[in-house]
Amino acid sequence: MGDLLFTLAAFAVAIGILVTVHEYGHFRVARWAGVRVLRFSVGMGRPLLRRTGKDGTEYVLAALPIGGYVKMLDEREGEVDPAERHRAFNNRPLGWRTAVVLAGPVANFLFAIVAYWLMLVLGMPGLQATVDAVDPDSAAARAGLAAGDAIVAVEGRPASTWGAAMQSLLPAALDGETVKITLQRDGREETVTLEVPRMPDAARSGDLGGRLGMTPARPAIPPVLGEIESGSPADRAGLKAGDRIAAAAGEPVAGWRELVERVQASPGEPLALTVEDDLGQRQVTVTPEAVPRPEGEPYGRIGAGVEPPGSMPAEYRAVQRFGPVAALGEGVIRTWETATMTLKVLGRMVVGQASLENLSGPITIAQFAGYTADAGFVQFISFLAVVSISLGVINLLPVPLLDGGHLLYYGIELFKGSPVSEQTEALGQRIGLAAILALMGLAFYNDLSRLFS
């Protein structure tokens, strides 16, 4: 129960921050545009707290932390005092109305830049970017990467940690591109060319390094199982958290890496395991499911995680940190990359080139809010940056009821010289509502599928 409450609290804080940022963008620019703002609400539903400012704006904190809004004076929504008509939103010039609508998503992008800046100035901890092993038949091997290589930069961008290196490789994986990797090898710097195969699901599936055929250096981890996925081959075979794998296919298993190698080498084939627990030893046969690679033969997977080790030894740890000026530039780059990747994935989902499973809803977001808040302040800030960018991109989609839908109407108004009719706007709102409800339903379905699969 404590973990659930912590996750819900982290989710509420995250949504509260991001909604406030988005709506404040609308609010601030509306003020600059001379529009009278009637209400600024964070949250939806019944007001919990309310205060009226000297400017006449009502500031509200509502019960449901699932959104927010800025209500502006508008003749389309009720009668307006003739003396106030010039302050009604619908009577402001097209340029100002466009700026007010655009300000919400822009505020989300600016927040992400600041969040990334703060994260990079404070330092993002992680594993050292040192290659421990390379699969012989892999993209990494063909590029010339080898055990002991320390990744220094990807396309000229510093990579002090393994996570930073994978973050820089991710955009190339979505499209299948060639990247230059700078290595520290035998006391000197070398540059290799890595042909990254196209992986449309790279942003969702994780373990980009493993799919490229390389693993990071880390301390020896005992072959003890952690979390077991429900319905997975490991679950069906009767394996459970805390089991120690002493042997696989009759060969002793000394560490977690050896176990992974045995499992990956047996896709679709029964694998005999010798398992130790508090009651002694037992024999278990598990059949790893075959998981396709972007290229080459599939690998085996049983759906069992590793039992989390204790603290990481200092010699394996690193921190990705920038100076204040360099961090600002890196924050802009990361925000741009994340926004374009989000847009690409959405576009490919529409045309059927990417799985609809990429779409996540509030349950998944809440889980990640809890995970990152538990991991530390810097990780939580990074999570906020990613979600803020996603919120900005989604709001710019040309769907009525979203900011992008209003911008679409303004584009039509600019072309035809007059606003779209009320009938057209009402029809668009019905279509937009149906589209948003369908997306929300799909996102909830994906969340529940992940939760109970």
Q: Distance of CA 178 to CAs 129, 146, 171, 277, 330, Å? A: 19, 18, 11, 47, 21
Asked whether the beta carbons of 285 and 271 are under 8 A apart, the reply is yes
The one catalytic residue among 23, 58, 79, 315: 23
Helix (H) or strand (E) holding 44: strand 37-52
Burial class (CB within 10 angstroms; exposed 0-12, middle 13-18, buried 19+) of 326: middle
* 393 token code pair: 């991109």
Written as six digits, the tokens of 188 are 């000197």
Q: Is 290 exposed, middle or buried (0-12, 13-18, 19+ CB in 10 A)?
A: middle
> Helices (H) and strands (E) in the chain — how many of each?
13, 18
Check if 422 is active-site.
no
Closest CA to 303 of 285, 286, 278: 286
**Phi and psi of 43, rounded to 5°?**
100, 165
- Separation of first and last alpha carbons in the chain: 21
**Residues forming beta bridges with residue 44, ordered by sequence position:** 64
Catalytic positions, please? Answer: 23
